[in-house]
Amino acid sequence: MTTIMDELEAPCTDSAGWKSEWSPAIGVDEINCVLTDHFVENLRSRGPAGELMLPAFQSNQQQKSFRLDEPLQPEDEFEGIIGRSASLREVLGQLQIVAPTDSTVLLLGETGTGKELVARALHNRSARRDRPFVRVNCAAIPSGLLESELFGHERGAFTSAIARKIGRFEMAHGGTIFLDEIGDIPPELQPKLLRVLQEQEFERLGGMQTLRVNVRVIAATSRNLPQMVAEREFRSDLYYRLNVFPIRLPALRERLEDIPLLVRHLTRRCAARMEKSISHVPVKVIDALTRYAWPGNIRELQNFIERAVIFSPGKVLRAPLAELAASEIISAEARQAAAPSRSMTLKDAEREYIVQALAETNWIIGGPKGAAARLGLKRTTLFSKMQKLGISRSLA
């Protein structure tokens, strides 16, 4: 019988020769791989114990996928924030600088970029880590209830106030309060919020006693606050008070190199929760995910991975990639519908904008709720523009 050692001592002819003579000796048929001259040279090298060093072989499925059991490196995770891209490292560098202080931090970025996770990291890396972390979603609370939610109320302050209620600022005393979607706070509540930011004091709704608190404020928004200030939808002094240390979080499309790490982390977490043993993700899935724009950012990716885990009965992740193509078509159609027509002139655009403002105000021109005020114009200026552009209610 021909052995491996016998063949190593024989002269090498060509790759085909090695394959034909060695197949029975090392079981090439079992590993389904063609031997090459480079492989032969590897077989000539010996390990420390004098044994032949055989390379590790993977199945075709393993060669086209990556494993999920590889642990994250320490530099790839920070307080639950996953990634190694340059844009994310810049954010984490700013986070570590400002976290030990008590300064107000304003987190900016699109929805779904992980602003709450960054806010928690700021709290956990501060001296207040053992004190409360209180989150308030300002967009989710009706404007009529937001003041009571933030500052509390006394019994009898309004019809349904049957008992005293402690507000979120009192709950966060000594710790951190996270005001998510700060841009949605109604204008009538902004002066009171400005006061508590500046003076750390306030009164409960319906109360006379001034309460003092010691809280660190972290605010976040996906809206354009400078534009809101210019349009008088947000107080400029409140904006400047919040904008002490702004941190802009990158969108997922700006850190595509982090997607493999995020997929590994999210898949393992979802699989563990659903008691599934998924161990591989096909490379074609990773390629498709890195080509997608992710308008919903990490939140959209998280939901997509959860659906993929649900669809996966075995060890390989089955991702519904057709959904991504459908989403791209919908997004492209929405962008096209929102884009202004290139054939529209500046005069046409101005006329359309004025007519829209007039329609929204029921063609009331003057007064605080009239079209002139909405457009930021004087009443006489708006009259002049209407005459110049030929705008009248009968023709609209």
CA gap 266, 372 in Å, rounded:
51
Give the per-residue pLDDT at 132: 97
Question: Bridge-partner residues for 231, per DSSP?
Answer: none
Would you state the pLDDT for residue 65?
Answer: 63
pTM of the predicted structure, to 2 decimals = 0.68
Q: Looking at residue 120, what is its pLDDT?
A: 97
Token duo for residue 318: 């089955």
Give the C-alpha separation, 81 to 96, whole Å: 13
Instruction: Report residues of the chain scoring pLDDT below 70.
Output: 1-66, 327-344, 394-396
The string of DSSP codes covering 150-171 is HH-B-TTSSTT--S-B--HHHH
Structure confidence at residue 359 (pLDDT): 81
297-356 per-position pLDDT tens digit? 999 999 999 999 999 999 999 999 888 877 665 555 545 554 554 556 777 778 888 888
Q: Per-residue pLDDT tens for 140-186?
A: 998 888 999 999 988 888 878 888 899 999 999 999 999 999 999 99
Q: What is the pLDDT of residue 329?
A: 59
Distance (Å, whole) CA 43 – CA 51: 10
What are the structural domains of the chain? Answer: 4-59 (no CATH), 75-248 (3.40.50.300), 254-321 (1.10.8.60), 346-389 (1.10.10)
Q: How far is CA 321 from CA 177, 236, 291, 298, 351, in A?
A: 39, 45, 11, 17, 44
Predicted confidence at residue 395, as pLDDT, reads 57
Per-residue pLDDT, 375: 80
pLDDT at 7: 39
Give the separation between CA 271 and CA 277, rounded to whole angstroms: 7
d(CA 392, CA 350): 14
Give the model's pLDDT for residue 351.
81
Give me Rg for the CA atoms of the chain: 31
Smallest CA-to-CA distance from 126 within 67, 174, 74 is with 174
Number of neighbouring beta carbons within 10 Å of residue 203: 15
